Amino acid sequence: MRAQKLLLIIFTILITIILLLGGIVTYIRGFADGVRSPAIFFLGCTGAFSVYFHLKTKVLYPFKEFDAPLEELSKKYWALHIAFGLILLLLGLYSTVFWLQSTQELSKIIPSIIVIIVGVWTLLDIYILHKFIVSHKERLERREEIENIKGTTKES
């Protein structure tokens, strides 16, 4: 699991850099056309938050039993990470359909398929991480309840 998280971090960093640079180039070219679109740059920003999310949750891998409570991440980081995964998935699907309609060369579809895979992988990572955190919290609560029962029994 730790190797998968590392690969996901690397792919997320690469895609984020591409989106940020593409967004800057698109925005600068927009001055000549009179139409500026910061949308791709904002996609890169969600990628930057996704990288932050990955770095903060990296310590949880491999999933194992912890005695200490987990550090809570803000819900806005979860939301931005989910948004990044969905954006990658939709962007990959859109570009795949676009390339299938306009070209006969299948090699041009490969980057789109990679983006789809990273998007699905990101969403699966969120799902698995959320399941782990929920089960971990439940185990900690049960352990505390058992220790509270033991403590009241010894006092009696």
Closest CA to 54 of 93, 15, 95: 15
Closest CA to 40 of 63, 16, 22: 22
pLDDT tens, position by position, 70-97: 677 788 888 888 988 998 899 889 888 8
CA angle, 75 then 77 then 83, to 5°: 105
Q: State the average pLDDT over residues 132-139.
A: 83
The pTM for the full model equals 0.73
* Confidence grade of residue 66 (pLDDT, cut at 50, 70, 90): low
Rg (CA), the chain: 21
Query: Distance between CA 46 and CA 83 in Å, rounded?
Result: 7
